[in-house]
């Protein structure tokens, strides 16, 4: 598995595991935990979750999945913006740690911009980092203007990632956010890299047949083509987990990329940051 370096020097796999919508049904939790554990065994050792997902239920699923392999896993979680005051952030982190069954979160993110002053969130993140409860911090769903404001509050080099919506149909970040992050050697983290299974085009099928893979694997490989982007697709089915892992080994050639650009064109100007 190709690795990507965060600004603090930590290396993480370019392909991780998402958990959005996990933990919503008690009957599915054991299966979801097994899928995550399989992903870890296959080298996808980064697991992304959040206190928002199933009101903490996804974090509990992650905790179950990594119970016997915590040292091998890089856990990402997020604080909701309305909890992101200094005291609220610390309380939210403590609650996440309890649900995850761990004493530290490797990367802790502000889920999206909110009303609390950024400096309060940064102060809380720094306090948590000093206490060893988080390894690093960053943000999610921040556009370039919000990133500039965050950088003023946190200082240069202290944001480890910006987790944003990115896939073949959501390419707006390529205009400004991708170069902004690349100039700072800060990787972006792509959520919903398969548009939650809604991606469809004859060209995806054609390219898939050419390489002996599925259309979804082509779409995921396209996201992973960028050396500065980490993809975190969610998969609760073992076959989907294995298929996602295989996509990391697929290399699209220049003809493939040109065909995909023709169907899913890159942005021609700045646009509002898309979110799900």
Is the C-alpha dihedral spanning 59, 65, 69, 72 positive or negative? negative
Is the C-alpha dihedral spanning 11, 17, 21, 25 positive or negative? negative
- Assess whether 108 carries a catalytic annotation: no
Please work out, in degrees rounded to the nearest 5, the angle formed at the alpha carbon of residue 222 by the alpha carbons of 219 and 223: 95
In the structure, how many helices (H) and strands (E) does the chain have?
10, 9
111 is in an annotated binding site: yes
Strands 159-165 and 229-231: unpaired
Query: Contact 194/217 with Cβ under 8 angstroms?
Result: no
Is the C-alpha dihedral spanning 159, 160, 163, 166 positive or negative? positive
Length of the chain, in residues: 276
Query: What are the phi and psi torsion angles at 157 (to 5°)?
Result: 85, -5
Residue of 53, 137, 166, 191 marked active site: 53
Q: Maximum distance among all alpha carbons in the chain?
A: 54
Annotated binding site, which residues? 111
By annotation, the residues acting in catalysis are 53
Instruction: List binding-site positions for substrate.
Output: 111
């Amino acid at each position: 598995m190709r690795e990507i370096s965060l600004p603090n020097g930590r290396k993480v796999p370019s392909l991780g595991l998402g958990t959005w919508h996990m933990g919503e049904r008690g009957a599915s939790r054991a299966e979801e935990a097994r899928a995550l554990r399989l992903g870890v065994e296959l080298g996808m050792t980064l697991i992304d979750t959040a206190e928002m997902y199933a009101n903490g239920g996804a974090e509990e699923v992650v905790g179950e999945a990594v119970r016997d392999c915590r040292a091998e896993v890089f856990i990402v979680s997020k604080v909701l913006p309305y909890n992101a005051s200094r005291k609220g952030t610390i309380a939210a982190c403590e609650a996440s740690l309890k649900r995850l069954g761990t004493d530290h979160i490797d990367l802790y993110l502000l889920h999206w911009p909110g009303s609390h002053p950024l400096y309060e969130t940064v102060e809380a993140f720094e306090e948590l980092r000093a206490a060893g409860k988080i390894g690093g911090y960053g943000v999610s769903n921040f556009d370039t203007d919000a990133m500039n404001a965050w950088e003023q509050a946190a200082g240069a080099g202290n944001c480890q990632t910006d987790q944003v919506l990115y896939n073949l149909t959501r390419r707006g970040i390529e205009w400004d956010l991708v170069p902004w992050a690349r100039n700072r050697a800060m990787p972006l983290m792509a959520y919903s890299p398969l548009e939650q299974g809604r991606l469809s085009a004859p060209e995806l099928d054609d390219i898939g047949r050419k390489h002996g893979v599925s259309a979804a694997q082509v779409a995921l490989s396209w996201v992973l083509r960028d050396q500065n982007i980490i993809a975190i697709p969610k998969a609760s089915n073992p076959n989907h987990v294995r298929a996602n892992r295989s996509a990391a080994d697929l290399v699209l050639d220049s003809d493939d990329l040109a065909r995909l650009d023709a169907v899913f064109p890159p942005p021609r100007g700045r646009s509002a940051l898309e979110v799900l």
